[in-house]
A = this chain, B = another copy of it.
């Protein structure tokens, strides 16, 4: 597909990839306008590709009281903790769209405790980050705290499972040294072009 490396591992020739994997890649390209590197990287291993995205979809698109934006908040906070640059940028972009808020992704990636989010969302991220960093200390008090914010048992499962899924995903992307998606590069470049004008921050008068 391209000569530029997507990670420490070269992507497979898409012609050699099983058709169901190729179709999923085509679908994401149709929807997003580009193929995220994680799809190309995992295509090297079709069974892992299928399992990963099956798990991802089961958790991220599951009906429930957590909104899709809130699910992405967990992903971004976890990715910040694990210092996964690829994940923060890719899921930060999704969070900005789903939360309809341009600010919240950076806030959550750097320090979710200072993000402009609801107390319920703060409690959700406290639980998620404890799962991410010290899951062996999770106990009654943590579940009680979630309950006091109106979360159900299945919400608690969702939060824990998303934090756990990205404990995996962050480590895999870091270990494979995934590179930033070209499209994200283009998006940031487009933004930056505007902001590198002579008086880059004069927005009030515009």
The residues of A with any CB-CB pair to B shorter than 8 Å are 8-9, 31-34, 44-45, 47-48, 50-52, 54-55, 57-59, 62, 80, 82-85, 88-89, 93, 96-97, 100-103, 106-107, 109-111, 113-115, 131-132, 135-139, 143, 153, 157, 160-161, 163-165, 167-172, 174-177, 180, 183-196, 199-205
Inter-chain contact A135/B171, CB cutoff 8 Å? yes
Q: What chain B residues lie within 8 Å of A186 (beta carbons)?
A: 201, 203-204
Measured between alpha carbons, how far is A172 from B163 in the docked complex, in Å? 9
User: Assembly of this chain: how many copies?
Assistant: 6
CB distance from A114 to the nearest CB of B (A): 5
20 contacts between A and B (CB under 8 A): A8-B143, A32-B200, A34-B204, A48-B58, A48-B161, A83-B111, A85-B115, A93-B200, A93-B201, A96-B196, A109-B110, A135-B174, A135-B175, A160-B176, A167-B167, A186-B203, A187-B203, A190-B191, A190-B203, A191-B191
